[in-house]
Each structure stands twice: as structure tokens, then as C-alpha cells.
Structure 1
Amino acid sequence: MKTMDRRRFLGLAATGVAGAAGMTALSGCGRGPASGEVKLKLVAADYGNPGGENSSKIYWQKIADAFTKKNPDITVDVTVYSWTDIGKKLTAMVDAGNPPDIAQVDSYADWAAEGKLYKVSELLPIPVQAEFLVALAEAGEVRRVQYGLPFVASTRVLFYNKDLFKKAGLDPDEPPESWRELKSAAQALKSAGVKIPYGLPLGPEEAQGESLMWMLGNAGSYVDSVGNYTINSPENIETFKWLRDNLVAPGYTEPNPQRVDRQKMFEAFVKGDVGILNGHPTLMQQADKEHIAYGTGKLPGSSGPAEGTLGVADWMMAFNKNDKNGHREACGKFLAYVFEEKNHYAFTSQYGLLPVTTSASERMRKDEKQKKLWPFLDQLAGAEFYPVGKVSWAGTSATIKKSIGRAAMKGGDPNGVLTMLQRKAETEEESAPS
């Protein structure tokens, strides 16, 4: 997949997307040419290669054609953009007052807070709503009301290079389960001449993800159980002090992890230059392609395996601008069709992603061809997601991506960096639409 994780896996939410002019001709929708017909406009992201054989355009066009065959009074106009372009394209449409009827992207909270989206309860019957995994449905809520429909998901596991473990005298079937074991393995890998014992990507591509995985290993997170920011909690400060003193300062990572992007670490791993790192299903596909002998395990925690892991989802949503034209019912019908088991599973299985419905998840669990995804699937129900339902998260995440890596640098000040991020997050929260 052109991984959902690229930031994407919350690029739009994390960076804040800028509008562009001149997009109105591509957006909006209206009645079809004949009385009683509805034409829906769908804008989606491409998980494959745009214009290539695995482009998501092919999937969406098949779905649209099959849906119209069953519902002749509803047609669906499909537009698919690369992850590089979809943020600014979609934002331009919305800002111009001509949003699509349905969009599939990686954030939704801003538009929900502005009253531009249908509630999920306005779109789908209760049996369809009940199909979504609970953790994901809750992640689609803004102020306890669900607006975002999870589309696909991913979780993270620890990856390690078995050949490099053997070279370092480590058991290739025993991944480290605690921070102490991780440090010991990194030390052995360094002594064996491994270029990067532990890959720590705290650069701007996805620093918010790597950071959260480490926080979870020490009972920390970005928010507490009621959604208040806890970025500078004692647990999180302790986590970054440990990273600074036990991995970065001894030279078990790249010298400047705050400048290292996740994709760079993935590429180094599949070249055999990285001993251990956290990854998602895309890395598995890349490593298989390069014939890397790798193993996976749970994320290490401060005193044993972490109790949870990072979960990431991309989202679908329906804009309510055309409600007076009867598009709410048509949008609901189409979305219900998209999430039918066979249709939803066709997409997730093609791109190596995790289903978000109970029926499709059970199907993946029985599909031997998807056996390598089972460890990721096992973790999904208990995974922790970014607080994407907080309207302030977009700006907060963007700041985290730019700055949090400094907390783990040799000579860095975890308390100072995390407290600065906490204050900025609180400021974003106070200025968010109520």
C-alpha cells in the first residue's frame, strides 16, 4: 500500500491542510439529468500507485458501478487523488462551499465541529453501525457524537532482523520484551557492527506515532481517559529521559533521531542496516519483497511487554451541504454498501490493511493468505488511537511532529520540551470551536 501511514496515517490531521483556489469545478454535486436521480460525488485517497494497476481508482469505480446497478436512481462520480494531493484538494472544495457528498481521507474533526458533516446515526441503520469495532467507532466521535466512519486501520508491532540478531549472538526467536532487554539487544547489535541497532524515527513525518508507542510502554499517552491533554505527564517525561540516556546518548540510534523520518528507517531496515524498530504491515510487505528474515513481537514496555499499541485509522464522512436535494439517504445507502463484508474485505485484503467491521475482521482471521496480518489484527480492539476527535488535535499534532524529537536528543530537556507542547496543546484546545 501507498501506506495509509504516510502522513497521511494523520498527515492531514497532523499538518493542517492548506486550501487551494480553482477547485470548484471538481467538487459539489447535484441531481442527475432525469427526475428522481441523484448523482453523488466521491473523493478518495489512493492507496496504490496513481494510474497504476493497483490504484484505488479501480476499486472505487467497480464499487460505484455495482452500486448503481443495484440502485439505478443513484450514480456515483469517483475522483481519486494521491495522498500528497488529497488534503489540499479536498480542503479547497470545502472552503469553496462545494464539498463532495462523500470523502475518504485521514481526518474529519474540523469539518464535524463546523457542522458540515452528517452524524453517522443520520446515515446508517443501527445494524450497520453496530458492525464497526467499538474502539474505532469511538475514535470517530467529536464530543461523543460519531461523525467519522473508520475505513481501514493498522496497528504497530516490533520488528527485528533475525540475521542481525544471529550476528550479534542474540536468539533470533526471542524479541526484546522490556526496555532493559531492548537496550541490551541494541548494545549487542552495535558491538556486532550493525549500523543502526534501533531505528528511532522522531522526525517530522511521524514523530507523533513513534512517541505515542513509547509513551504507551510506560503507562503514558497524549490524553487521559476523559480527553484532557497529558503530554508532560511524569510518565511521558520519564519515557523521554530513558530514550535520551539509554538509546540516543550511547549511540544505539542514528545520531539525530529528531531529523529521521519513518520511511527512511523502513528503507534502512529492508536494506539490512537496522536491527530493531517499530512498524506496521507496510514494512512487512517491503521486507518480504527484499527477502529480509524478520520477526515480530509486542512493543516493549518499561518493565515488560506494553499493554497496548498504537492504532491508526483513515476515515469516511458525508457532507451535508446537499441535504435539501435528498442526498442524505443516497449517501447512507452507498456507505452501507461500501461496508458490506465482501466489499470492505476486498479493499483491506488488497492493500494489506486491517478491516474495521466485525464480519470482515472475522473473515480475515479465517483467511490463511492473510496469516501475517493476524498479529496486527489481534491488537486492534485494544489499540490506542490518536485523539482525532479533538478539534485541537490537528494543530497539536503538527507541533508535536516538529518538536518532540528534541526531547530525546543527547543533552535534550524532556521536561522543557513536553511542557512546551502541553501548553501549546492547551492553547489549541481553548481556541477550538465549541
Structure 2
Amino acid sequence: MASALVMTAVLGGCGITGGSGEVTLKLVAADYGDTEANSSRHYWDDVVDAYEAKHPDVRVDVTVYSWNDVDRKVRELVDAGEAPDLAQIGAYSDYAAKDLLYRADDLLSIPVQADFVPQLAAAGQVKGVQYGMPFAASTRVLFYNKTLFAQAGLTPPKSWDDLAAAAEALKAEGVKYPYALPLGPEEAQAETMQWLLSGGGGYTDVSGTYTIDSAQNVDTFTWLKDELVGKDLTGPVAPGKLNRAAAFAAFAAGDVGMLNGHPSLMAMAEKKGVKYGMVPTPGADGASPNTLGVADWMAAFKQNGHQEQIGDFLDFVYADDQVLDFSRRYDLLPVTTSASEAMSTAEEDKKLKPFLDQLLLSELYPVGETSWATVSAEIKKRIGEAVATGGDPRTVLEELQATAVRADSAA
């Protein structure tokens, strides 16, 4: 991602102070673009202009930060007693546990709340109450460079052994990143969970109890360390230093043989003329039975007391035309059933259909656990150590498990 893109000027409206009855909503949003030209700032410009044209008594001030910064910025604002009215972030449940958020049913009209994809709506709940409103969704598949695979005489991998063998062949052909393993702080929790699922594990068990140091997870990261990283098959940047955005950019530059990717990688690759294929994530003994589903969340803070205006604005944001516009701009999956149905039958969206089909079968982060924000932050910080030279996967996973247990107890 580019450095923080901050929009401090008022978007539309009637001036800085406005009339005595005017309400200003403050929204902090994450940037889904990778350049100034496609920054999410432009999406919010369009949304706010359209909304304010119909609501002259409400102004919406939007600040956009990169994904590297947005969660931290929101936490700093909340800790300083300056919570925004709305925040579009990666985790919400710790705020809900502190009674800082409005319930979704206190804000949204019944048709809008009922339209969320059921799996995403359920993931937005804390103890059966929805506080997190899904804003964007994606699933993951394995992308591979068709040209590099053809040059090495390869077919797409179905298992870990296939993947390792393909990486060896790609390395022999001089490919810079045979397999790109982004365990850097931007989105390490995603790459980690994708690998844990492919090894039959995950962050939690069926009851929601953290199992980060399970035998399956230790085996998975031991395999990664020994069979990919230790054999120099993951490129010149240490996995713990490689961010997802950099890995995607390298794939679009033709320097990556394989990596786990979400839908927005398609447009990046096509823009640079990279021919790519997509297959289900390889698992320990064949195609992984589970795939990662990811949702980003809209949360509404109570502090400023703008419940009515927040709800009205969100009803506008979650209209089909807005949801489809955002999804199509950034090659992400709609979070509402009606927009998903529209996308699944639209010719212009046919490349996204494989991702849409996986969404209802995917597993999401344990975002409803109020400890998840703490656990996710620690995974981003530490997981790269598990595969580093001299690192010990078991020790790192045990320490992460201890962090999760402490955070869970505190919550």
C-alpha cells in the first residue's frame, strides 16, 4: 500500500461550520487501492457527494488510511476519547465488549440488515448480537503464473508436495519468488490461516477455543520452514518482512510463480499482461477441504450520539448500487445477498464467480471473539519468526497460544 492517504477537506456540504442544525459524521476508512489513482478516497468522494446532495443537513468527513495504519489510527482515536462515528476496519469485537458500539439493529433498517450474507452477518456477532457490519469480503485461491509454469513444464499443484516440487522447478528456471509467502505485518493473519486450514488446523476448534499450537498447526509451519523457506523457495525477502501488497505487486510484475491471492489480484495481473491461472489451495494430501473467507467491518461508535444520522447514511451505503460499485472497483465480493445474486449472473462479473461460490463454504477469522484484535496483532508481529532461520515453529505457536489465552481471559 501507499503511505497513508488522508482526506482532511470537507467533502461537499455547505462549509466548515454549517448551520446550527447540521450534523457532521466522521468516518475513518481503509484504502483498498494501490495507487493514488484508485484510492478508496475516490469511492468515498462519490458516495458522500451523492448522499449529501439528498441530505443537506448532514455532512460526512472521511479520512482514508492504508491498511497498514487504519486499525492503529482508530484505536488511537478511541483511546484519546475522540472516536469517529464510523470506522471501516479489520476487527470490531473488542470495542463491542467495552460497550462502545451501536448494535446493527439500532442503526439499520430491517431490509438492509436482513440482506447481509448470512455467514458474514453471523461473523459480525458478539454473544449473539450483531455489532460488526460486513463491508467487503473475499476468499482465497492459489494463483500461478501460466507463462512461468509452461517454461518449467509444470501443471498446477494439488498438494503440498506438488507445490514444493513446482517451487523447486521454478527456482531452477531463475524465478525470483517461486512461492511468495507474505507473513509481513500487513496481512500475515490471512496467509497464516490459509496455511493452517490447508493442514487441517486453524486458529480455533469447533467450540471457538483457541488452538494455535495444535499438532496440525505445528506440523504445517514446520513443513513451511523446512520445505519452502529453508530451501530458499520463497524469494529474496524474508517472509516475515514481505507484505501482501508487495507480494501481489511482484506477481503482477511477473516475478512470482505462485501465491495465495484474493480477487483483486486478477485486475493487477491483467493490467500488467501477466497470464495467470487459479486453483483451489493445495493441502497436505490434496486440495485443501477448507478455504479462507475474509470480511472487513464497518463499526459505529456511540460516543458522538449520531445514531439516527449514522443509520440513515449506512442504509444508503449498503444499497445495491453502492455495494456493487465498491465490489467492482476493487474486485471484492459483495456482502449483501441481493448484490451477490446480481453479480453471480452478470457477464461483467463472471471471473468473480469462483470466489462467490466459495464464500458460503469458507471459514472466517474468529472476529466475534473480543480477544481477536489482540491475537491478530500478535500474529502479524510474530508469525514470521516461526519460519525464520533459527526459528522454532512450535515455540512461536505456543507463545501465540499463550497470548490468545491471556487475551481471552481478559476479555
Tell me the TM-score range normalised by the shorter chain: 0.7 to 0.9
Aligned runs of 1:39-118 on 2, under 5 Å?
A: 39-48=24-33, 52=36, 54-71=38-55, 74-83=57-66, 86-118=70-102
State how far apart, in whole Å, the 1-side matches of 2:215 and 2:72 are.
38
Alpha-carbon distance, 1:119 to partner: 0.7
Is it true that 1:398 corresponds to 2:384 in the alignment? no
Pairing partner for 2:183 from 202, 212, 229: 202
State how far apart, in whole Å, the 2-side matches of 1:241 and 1:367 are.
43
State how far apart, in whole Å, the 2-side matches of 1:250 and 1:286 are.
29
Whether the aligned pair in 2 keeps the contact of 1:56 and 1:80 (CA below 8 Å) is no
State how far apart, in whole Å, the 2-side matches of 1:219 and 1:313 are.
22
379-388 or 292-301, larger mean C-alpha shift? 379-388
Q: State the match for 1:182 in structure 2.
A: 163
Q: Classify 1:251/1:65 alpha carbon distance in 2 versus 1 (closer, same or farther; 3 Å).
A: closer
Whether the aligned pair in 2 keeps the contact of 1:46 and 1:80 (CA below 8 Å) is no
Alpha-carbon distance, 1:384 to partner: 1.8
Q: Classify 1:97/1:412 alpha carbon distance in 2 versus 1 (closer, same or farther; 3 Å).
A: closer
Whether the aligned pair in 2 keeps the contact of 1:45 and 1:56 (CA below 8 Å) is yes
Alpha-carbon distance, 1:124 to partner: 1.9
Whether the aligned pair in 1 keeps the contact of 2:171 and 2:233 (CA below 8 Å) is yes
Pairing partner for 1:160 from 129, 144, 169: 144
State how far apart, in whole Å, the 1-side matches of 2:60 and 2:69 are.
18
Aligned runs of 1:5-20 on 2, under 5 Å?
A: none
Whether the aligned pair in 2 keeps the contact of 1:197 and 1:253 (CA below 8 Å) is yes
Is it true that 1:265 corresponds to 2:212 in the alignment? no
State how far apart, in whole Å, the 1-side matches of 2:245 and 2:52 are.
39
Aligned runs of 1:415-430 on 2, under 5 Å?
A: 415-430=394-409
Q: Classify 1:252/1:122 alpha carbon distance in 2 versus 1 (closer, same or farther; 3 Å).
A: same
Give 3-state SS (helix, strand or coil) of 1:97's partner.
coil
Q: So what's the TM-score if we normalise by structure 1?
A: 0.83
Give 3-state SS (helix, strand or coil) of 1:180's partner.
helix
The residue identity in structure 2 corresponding to 1:397 is S
Query: CA offsets, 1:309-349, max 9 Å, x none?
Result: 222222112222344xxx32332222112111112111211
Whether the aligned pair in 2 keeps the contact of 1:247 and 1:253 (CA below 8 Å) is yes
State how far apart, in whole Å, the 2-side matches of 1:40 and 1:201 are.
36
Structure 2 unmatched ranges of 5 or more: 9-16
State how far apart, in whole Å, the 2-side matches of 1:395 and 1:410 are.
26
Q: State the match for 1:12 in structure 2.
A: none
Number of equivalent positions: 399
Give 3-state SS (helix, strand or coil) of 1:253's partner.
coil
Q: State the match for 1:17 in structure 2.
A: none
Whether the aligned pair in 2 keeps the contact of 1:216 and 1:306 (CA below 8 Å) is yes
Q: State the match for 2:115 in structure 1.
A: 131
The residue identity in structure 1 corresponding to 2:157 is P
Query: CA offsets, 1:224-268, max 9 Å, x none?
Result: 122211001111111112222322233322374333333332233
Pairing partner for 2:231 from 241, 250, 269: 250
Alpha-carbon distance, 1:374 to partner: 2.1
Is it true that 1:221 corresponds to 2:206 in the alignment? no
Give 3-state SS (helix, strand or coil) of 1:329's partner.
helix
State how far apart, in whole Å, the 1-side matches of 2:69 and 2:163 are.
38
State how far apart, in whole Å, the 1-side matches of 2:72 and 2:137 are.
23
Whether the aligned pair in 2 keeps the contact of 1:32 and 1:39 (CA below 8 Å) is no
Query: CA offsets, 1:185-233, max 9 Å, x none?
Result: 2232233333332222223333222111111112210111222110011
Structure 1 unmatched ranges of 5 or more: 8-22, 24-30
Q: Classify 1:297/1:354 alpha carbon distance in 2 versus 1 (closer, same or farther; 3 Å).
A: same
Q: State the match for 2:14 in structure 1.
A: none
Q: Classify 1:208/1:98 alpha carbon distance in 2 versus 1 (closer, same or farther; 3 Å).
A: closer
Whether the aligned pair in 2 keeps the contact of 1:137 and 1:146 (CA below 8 Å) is yes
Query: CA offsets, 1:42-82, max 9 Å, x none?
Result: 333343478x554434433433343345455x413222222
Give 3-state SS (helix, strand or coil) of 1:317's partner.
strand
Q: So what's the TM-score if we normalise by structure 2?
A: 0.88
Is it true that 1:151 corresponds to 2:132 in the alignment? no
Whether the aligned pair in 1 keeps the contact of 2:40 and 2:64 (CA below 8 Å) is no
Alpha-carbon distance, 1:143 to partner: 2.6
Whether the aligned pair in 1 keeps the contact of 2:202 and 2:217 (CA below 8 Å) is yes
Whether the aligned pair in 1 keeps the contact of 2:58 and 2:309 (CA below 8 Å) is no
State how far apart, in whole Å, the 2-side matches of 1:45 and 1:76 are.
19
State how far apart, in whole Å, the 2-side matches of 1:332 and 1:77 are.
13
Query: CA offsets, 1:58-109, max 9 Å, x none?
Result: 433433343345455x413222222255445433443343433222232222
The residue identity in structure 1 corresponding to 2:75 is T
Whether the aligned pair in 1 keeps the contact of 2:24 and 2:61 (CA below 8 Å) is no
State how far apart, in whole Å, the 2-side matches of 1:214 and 1:297 are.
15
RMSD of aligned residue pairs (Cα, Å): 2.8
Whether the aligned pair in 2 keeps the contact of 1:42 and 1:76 (CA below 8 Å) is no
Give 3-state SS (helix, strand or coil) of 2:381's partner.
helix
Alpha-carbon distance, 1:152 to partner: 1.0
Alpha-carbon distance, 1:299 to partner: 0.6
The residue identity in structure 2 corresponding to 1:77 is V
State how far apart, in whole Å, the 2-side matches of 1:104 and 1:204 are.
19
Q: State the match for 2:367 in structure 1.
A: 388
The residue identity in structure 1 corresponding to 2:386 is A
Q: State the match for 1:329 in structure 2.
A: 308
Q: Classify 1:65/1:196 alpha carbon distance in 2 versus 1 (closer, same or farther; 3 Å).
A: closer
